[in-house]
Amino acid sequence: MPPLTPGRVLTTWTARPAVLAGVAVLAGGYLAGVRRARVVGLAWSARRTVAFLAGVVLLALIGASVVAVYDDTLFWARALQGVVLLVVAPMLLAAGAPLTLARDTLPPGAVGRLGRIRRSGVARAVGSPGIATIALIAPPFLLYLTGLYPLELRSGVVSGLVSLGLLAAGLLYVVSRLQIDPVPRETNHGLTLGIAIAEVVADGVLGLVLWMGPLLAVGHYAAVDRTWGPDLRDDQAIGAGVWWIGGDLAGLPFLGAIAVRFAAADAREARRVDAELDAAEEAAAAARVRAVDGGDGEPGEGGGGDGADGGRPRLWWEDDPRFADRFRRR
């Protein structure tokens, strides 16, 4: 493989049929859904379309650009592919709300089948916070610590399966946690925010393992006989930084989105509680008015009051069944 120079970054490309077919299906299917939505009069956000297509473009770049050309030569190039597949592309694809688009534009029969799958016990289990978190954290460790990585370098089939697995794991996590699309079970955004912050630690552990641990796939990289660029140790250290720093930086927009949705959900809950309290106070006030209007006689004489209160106006929480026991006179 010729040396990687700045000039080659923009001029070196490769055509991988599986990659081209995959991105064509993703982009074509999504755009067909958007077109169908417009036909039926459904307003569809342009930002969602841009986000989804940006994710597709990223998949195309890591599968056909200079990154793909050198992914068997440089450790950091394949690490960059892994970060995009597991973290970056899933966030952009999920931001496009493809499941919502499918629900709104597919035929009723297909929508019904998707709904049954979403409500199934398997989907609820897989979409739980614990399983989804494992799906995000475990794949890189399995890839590098089980001997799978050298096999991925030797076999194009295994490489493709690993790429699909990383993308699927990232989508499972992001879709189930971001909850833009309908999900099998809803999770409190505060819990998701806490889990996402904790995952930063996992990125750091992976980075340290790759940086300070033994060299991986030494036989493969020695056979490549690369005489330019970083040596094997520095190459793996750069890859460790890509996973560690790149993964954390790529996750910042996700953390921001979760924080915004958490704040919005908290504000909605506060408005709901305020509305309930206001309704309870209004109901109590109306009850007092009815009691006064229906009474006959002076207060304290069996009309508008009772012996215990002596005609004292009752506060709203004294009539609210949720609080009356706490403030009952003794």
- DSSP state at residue 73: T
Predicted confidence at residue 301, as pLDDT, reads 47
Predicted confidence at residue 221, as pLDDT, reads 92
Domain co-membership, 242 together with 315: no
Q: What percent of the chain has a predicted confidence (pLDDT) above 70? A: 82
State yes or no: pLDDT of 297 exceeds 60. Answer: no
Predicted confidence at residue 307, as pLDDT, reads 46
Domain co-membership, 178 together with 317: no
Q: How far is residue 128 CA from its own chain's centroid?
A: 12
Q: What angle do CA 286, 290, 296 make, to 5 degrees?
A: 155
State yes or no: pLDDT of 87 exceeds 60. Answer: yes
Domain co-membership, 177 together with 229: yes
Measured between alpha carbons, how far is 73 from 204 in angstroms, rounded to an integer? 25
Domain co-membership, 25 together with 138: yes
Measured between alpha carbons, how far is 181 from 185 in angstroms, rounded to an integer? 11
Q: What angle do CA 152, 213, 172 make, to 5 degrees?
A: 50
Phi, psi (deg, nearest 5) at residue 229: 75, -170
Predicted confidence at residue 270, as pLDDT, reads 72
The answer as to whether 290 is a domain residue is no
Total domain count for the chain?
A: 2
Q: If you average pLDDT over every residue of the chain, what do you get? A: 84
17 with 156: CB under 8 angstroms?
no
Domain co-membership, 111 together with 210: yes
Q: What is the pLDDT of residues 139-185, one digit of tens each?
A: 999 999 998 999 999 999 999 999 999 999 999 998 888 888 888 77
| DSSP code per residue over 262-327 | HHHHHHHHHHHHHHHHHHHHHHHHHHHHHHHHH--S-TTTTSSS-TTTTTPPPPHHHH-TTTHHHH
Predicted confidence at residue 129, as pLDDT, reads 80
- Mean pLDDT calculated for residue range 269-290: 76
Predicted confidence at residue 304, as pLDDT, reads 46
Q: What is the pLDDT of residues 185-213, one digit of tens each?
A: 777 666 777 777 777 778 888 999 999 99
Domain co-membership, 85 together with 137: yes
**What pLDDT band is residue 327 in, cutting at 50, 70 and 90?**
low
- Mean pLDDT calculated for residue range 308-321: 59
Domain co-membership, 247 together with 314: no
- Mean pLDDT calculated for residue range 110-123: 87
pTM of the model as a whole: 0.77
The answer as to whether 287 is a domain residue is no
Range of the structural domain that residue 309 is part of? 297-330
Domain ends where: 273, 288, 308? 273
Q: What is the pLDDT of residues 33-72, one digit of tens each?
A: 999 999 988 889 999 999 999 999 999 999 999 999 999 9
The answer as to whether 14 is a domain residue is yes
- DSSP state at residue 314: P
85 with 62: CB under 8 angstroms?
yes
Domain co-membership, 308 together with 179: no
